[in-house]
C-alpha cells in the first residue's frame, strides 16, 4: 500500500490546496495517510478526551503523556454558557429523580410528560401562538412537520 504523506505537509496545506485537478483518490489517500501519521505520533486533534465542563477553558487528557492539562476551547457551541449555569444543571437532576433517565419511547407511542406540556404552553405564550409542539430530535421534526406539507411529487434533501 502506498503511503502518501510527507513530513513537511500540514493540515493547512490541504485546506489551502483546493481539490486537485488530477486524481481525487490520490489526494484523499494523501490526506488520510497524513492524518494517520499525525495520530501515530500523538497529534490526534479529533476525539480529544475532555475531563472538565466544555467552557472557554477545558482540562484535556494530553494524548502523549496521558496527563491532564488546561487549554483554551474555541470549538464549543454554547455561546452563553448556559449548559453550566447552576439552574440549568439542577433542572435535569430534578427531572431524573421524578421521571427517570428518559421517556423510553416517542410521545406518539406512550404519551408525554406534564413537563413537556408545560414547556409547549410556555413556548406558545412566548411566541404569541395558540400552541406549540416539541420534537425530541431533528429527525422526528422532519417526519412530523414535513410530512404535513409535502406530497408524493415533492423531493426533499435534508442534511
Summarised one tens digit per residue, pLDDT across range 51-75 is 999 999 999 988 777 899 999 998 8
Q: Domain range spanning residue 130?
A: 105-149
End-to-end CA distance of the chain: 34
pLDDT of residue 65: 78
Question: Is residue 5's pLDDT more than 60?
Answer: no
pLDDT of residue 13: 74
65 within some domain: no
98 within some domain: no
pLDDT in tens, 84-115: 999 999 999 999 999 999 888 877 788 889 99
23 within some domain: no
Find the helix or strand (DSSP H, E) in which 27 lies: helix 24-40
pLDDT of residue 32: 82
Most confidently modeled range among 106-110, 118-122, 140-144: 118-122
135 within some domain: yes
Q: Dihedral (C-alpha) 52, 86, 126, 97: value to the nearest 10 degrees?
A: 90
pLDDT of residue 33: 82
86 within some domain: no
Question: What is the pTM assigned to this prediction?
Answer: 0.56
19 within some domain: no
Percent helix, strand, coil in the chain, to 5, is 45, 5, 50
Of 60 and 143, the structure prediction assigns the larger pLDDT to 60
pLDDT in tens, 13-46: 777 666 666 777 877 888 888 888 877 776 766 6
| Total count of domains within the chain | 1
Question: Is residue 131's pLDDT more than 60?
Answer: yes
pLDDT of residue 95: 93
26 within some domain: no
The residue ranges of DSSP E strands in 38-86, in sequence order, are 57-61, 68-72
Question: Is residue 121's pLDDT more than 90?
Answer: yes
pLDDT of residue 90: 97
- CA–CA distances in Å: residue 128 to residues 6, 72, 116, 124, 134: 59, 40, 18, 6, 16
112 within some domain: yes
Amino acid at each position: 500500500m502506498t503511503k502518501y504523506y510527507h513530513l513537511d505537509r500540514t493540515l493547512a496545506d490541504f485546506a489551502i490546496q483546493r481539490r486537485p485537478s488530477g486524481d481525487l483518490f490520490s489526494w484523499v489517500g494523501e490526506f488520510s495517510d497524513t492524518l494517520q501519521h499525525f495520530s501515530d505520533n500523538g497529534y490526534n486533534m479529533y476525539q480529544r478526551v475532555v475531563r472538565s465542563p466544555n467552557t472557554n477553558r477545558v482540562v484535556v487528557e494530553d494524548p502523549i503523556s496521558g496527563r491532564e492539562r488546561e487549554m483554551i476551547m474555541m470549538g464549543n457551541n454554547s455561546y452563553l454558557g448556559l449548559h453550566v449555569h447552576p439552574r440549568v444543571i439542577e433542572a435535569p437532576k430534578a427531572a431524573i429523580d421524578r421521571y427517570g433517565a428518559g421517556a423510553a419511547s416517542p410521545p406518539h407511542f406512550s404519551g408525554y410528560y406534564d413537563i413537556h406540556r408545560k414547556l409547549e404552553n410556555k413556548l406558545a405564550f412566548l411566541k404569541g401562538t395558540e400552541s406549540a409542539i416539541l420534537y425530541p430530535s431533528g429527525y422526528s421534526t422532519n417526519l412530523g412537520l414535513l410530512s404535513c406539507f409535502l406530497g408524493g411529487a415533492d423531493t426533499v434533501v435534508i442534511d
